Amino acid sequence: MNNADIERVFQALHDLRSDNPRFLEGVYLSARAVGAALARYEAVSQANGDMELRMFSGAHVDPAAPERSALLLRLLMGKRPLRHAPPTMFSYPHYILIEDPGPIGVVVRGPIPLGGLAARAGGAHGKYWFSVNDCLYACVDDNEAAQEVNRLLAGGVLSQFVSRQSLIAQGPAWVLRYGHWPAWTLNWDHDNEAQQYRAGWVLRKTPEWDDYCVDYLDI
């Protein structure tokens, strides 16, 4: 980006903060800081390629709407980019799934039959796909209660997934993978540990994460 683009990005972010003082709270906004973040953004692009950048960013940087790039905002906050793209949450990278202990509340819209969709699950493979926060995960394991939920969903009984308490009480659980990350377990948050508006479905890190060290790009 040229100097005019950098100025447009800076002005757009400055205007957003004027309307919402909590936007990028604690970050010193200046054209110089924006220029440095954009330079790092381009370095991530070169290191990962266009498709991987889209997964990191949520969108390419539009000087008129730079807030749509989660990666740019992350860089402006002084955080390092992940070496591998995280799962997405409604098209935006879901960094807290990687960096926070969890559990994390999610919206479930699965399962999806096996097909040529591995690229959309970050390359992960499983028995079938599961849509969580509008992102595809590969399901590698499930219990009997989860299989019963799957049968209800396959029969078009969508409301049963969240309303049939007797089935939820049986503890349906799916082990999901995305990309090369360790697995998560999808299950019902009976005690509302995720502190949602009301108890719902959550992703929990499996014990695979206990000794896992998150890898960042040194850019």
Q: Total structural domains in the chain?
A: 2
* Residues 46, 122 within the same domain: no
Cis peptide before 93 (omega within 30 of 0): no
With 70 as the cut, is the pLDDT of residue 164 above it?
A: no
201-205 and 92-93 strand pairing: unpaired
pLDDT at position 214 is 92
Rounded Cα gap, residues 88 and 85, in angstroms: 9
Residue 196 belongs to a domain: yes
Rounded Cα gap, residues 25 and 16, in angstroms: 11
* Residues 169, 107 within the same domain: yes
Do 9 and 1 touch, CB atoms closer than 8 A? yes
Residue 105 belongs to a domain: yes
With 50 as the cut, is the pLDDT of residue 137 above it?
A: yes
pLDDT at position 196 is 84
- Domain span including residue 165: 98-209
pLDDT at position 186 is 95
Residue 215 belongs to a domain: no
Instruction: Report in angstroms the alpha-carbon separations of 114 from 124, 177, 191, 213.
Output: 12, 14, 32, 30
Chain segment 70-126, per-residue pLDDT in tens: 889 999 999 998 888 899 998 888 999 999 998 999 988 767 765 555 567 888 888
pLDDT at position 167 is 81
pTM for this prediction: 0.82
- Burial (CB count within 10 angstroms: exposed 0-12, middle 13-18, buried 19+), residue 154: exposed
Reduced to 3 states (helix: H, G, I; strand: E, B; else coil), residue 99 is: helix
* Residues 129, 174 within the same domain: yes
* Residues 203, 118 within the same domain: yes
Chain segment 178-219, per-residue pLDDT in tens: 998 999 999 998 888 888 887 788 999 999 999 999 988 887
Domain boundary among 81, 107, 133: 81
pLDDT at position 160 is 42
Rounded Cα gap, residues 51 and 33, in angstroms: 26
* Residues 126, 72 within the same domain: no
Chain segment 12-68, per-residue pLDDT in tens: 999 999 999 999 989 999 999 999 999 998 888 777 665 455 555 555 788 888 998
Do 179 and 169 touch, CB atoms closer than 8 A? no
Q: Give the rounded distance of the alpha carbon of 193 from its chain centre.
A: 19
* Residues 102, 145 within the same domain: yes
Nearest to 175 by CA among 213, 209, 215: 209
Residue 195 belongs to a domain: yes
* Residues 56, 116 within the same domain: no
With 70 as the cut, is the pLDDT of residue 158 above it?
A: no
* Residues 71, 173 within the same domain: no
Cis peptide before 103 (omega within 30 of 0): yes
Rounded Cα gap, residues 87 and 163, in angstroms: 27
